[in-house]
Structure 1
Amino acid sequence: MAVFTAVSLDDLTQWIKQFPLGRALALQGISSGIDNSNFFLTTERGEYVLTIFENLRFEQLPFYVQLMRHLAERGIPVPAPVPAENGELVVTLHGKPAIIVSRLNGASQMDPQPVHCAEVGAMLARMHLAGRDFPLAQPNLRGLDWITATAPVVAPHLHEDEAALLRTEVAYQAQFAAGATYAALSRGPVHADLFRNNVMFEGDKLTGCFDFYFAGVDTWLFDVAVTVNDWCVDLASGRLDTARVRALLDAYHAARPFTQEEHSAWQPMLRAGALRFWLSRLYDLHIPRAAELLTPHDPTHFERILRERIAVAAPELPV
């Protein structure tokens, strides 16, 4: 999240009237992240989040917004989109698509322990199961097609050892994705960005997750790998913490048992998750966009994680 499009309370005076929320009382930009303009919004009816989409087009947004509604209706703790009086969930603000969603209670847990990882694993499994009957389909827009197209754009900005790692891993993932094991993996809507700052806790109890704007249809195992690579990692070294890995995977497995194909694909998929975020951060660093509030992420963090996943086998999936 970031602020690329400036918005003031005066801008919302008339605009907010199309929602059943009363007057807008306060607005605060959210500086974390890099893709949309986000604001905490206080109205006469409560606390919400306003998002203006900087890259996604109107025709792309029904998947994300309807997925949140679908999951919320099935008891998954996610932000619920607020419809305008005409029933539309996505409306125009400053010429760009925008939505208002409910604001979750709690705070991000940035120093997770096994108990927090277990909560995340169980919730992720329930989310995957709840999405099985979601009628819309959209590919993961940061999947292998994006990776293979973006890597040559970023490579000229890198040192030779970094560029060599990038070329080698992209080729490895392309070869793996062409195989029978990958084709047999279970699929459905995935969050694809379930990092610590996208989940809320009150104490040890998970209260919700948000930021679905990288969601798409992909393998559920990729979603698990992305999550493990953030929640269960030592930030300084990129190494996995076995206790946290076990807690997250065991809780997930209890709700949705892993398949045999997923066991075979686990190590490559952890590498795929690391590659996706390393490349995204390289792209954002070397080919940046202007923003009023912008906090770019350090790509070397996921370079360390990728090198660690290549060198050291992670704890296996539970059976």
Structure 2
Amino acid sequence: MAGSSEETDKRRPMRWAEITVRVPPDASEAVAQALMDNGCTGVAETASGSNATVTSGWLPVDDLLETRLTRIRERFDRFGEFGLSAPFDMTVRRIADPDWLSEWRKHHKARSFGRRLLVCPSWEESASGTDRAVVLLDPGMAFGTGGHPKTILCLEALDELVRPGMLVADVGTGSGILAIAAVKLGAAHVYASEIDALPRRIAAENAQRNGVADRVTILTPDELDALRPTCDLVVCNIIAETIVELAPLLSALVAPDNGALIASGIVEERYGLVEQALIQNGFEIAEVRADDVWRAIIARRSPVR
């Protein structure tokens, strides 16, 4: 009878809880990270007007479900400590047997950036037969995968600015997407820093998968601060408050002779704070790019007079 029961369990559809969070744009990645840190196997994000995004995740319905939901809500309650907006609302509904993997994959397609770059998940076939520089990256437990506006702004800027032989730093590398893209576009080497151990491991795995592990050095922030390589290009895709805090380090990293900085993750209302901090630390604002409420700054070191 035991064998018969096990066979019945295998045939029974797995039940899932679908979590949907409506959130201000500046906190969308933090919401997705909170979902994945607490067991969501997949996360998808869709736009909901200019003032909100909708982030969805899926958890198995098991004995740990309520504990995980409590931890997610507790994480959201702490957003204010990090200068992030709290989610507007969160709903949970149980669904019998969703094909959530297919739904999730619908949100993660191969995508071109600028004239030279293609970011492609493993289940897409777009990587074959293209003359673009291909970054293979599956959505997982570290950001980003190229779908968020602030990451899009960075990828497009990298496509324009990276030249063969450049030395690049990626401050707050997450999944490693920007570091890998820089190498694929011709950078000689990238120093990629990340504060959290899990994203550091995933970034290293992604670099290995893309065949660039020998040209990407994964570091902690303290290690990057101690090393302080002089870089032709630095990219920092975090949040406005952290960019302000890191402005002295960013200035130290960017080569004074025509070095450039790409700073992204800046919501419109916090742009002035970042601009002021960069100017105070020896930068000149060369260009500001926008995608809805998000801003990215391309800055260069002010010439020494």
Select the structure with the greater relative contact order (CA < 8 A; seq sep ≥ 6): 1
Same fold, TM exceeding 0.5? no
Kindly indicate which of the two structures has a greater share of residues assigned to helix: 1
TM-score if structure 1 supplies the norm length? 0.29
Kindly indicate which of the two structures has a greater share of residues assigned to strand: 2
Bigger Rg over Cα = 2
TM-score if structure 2 supplies the norm length? 0.30
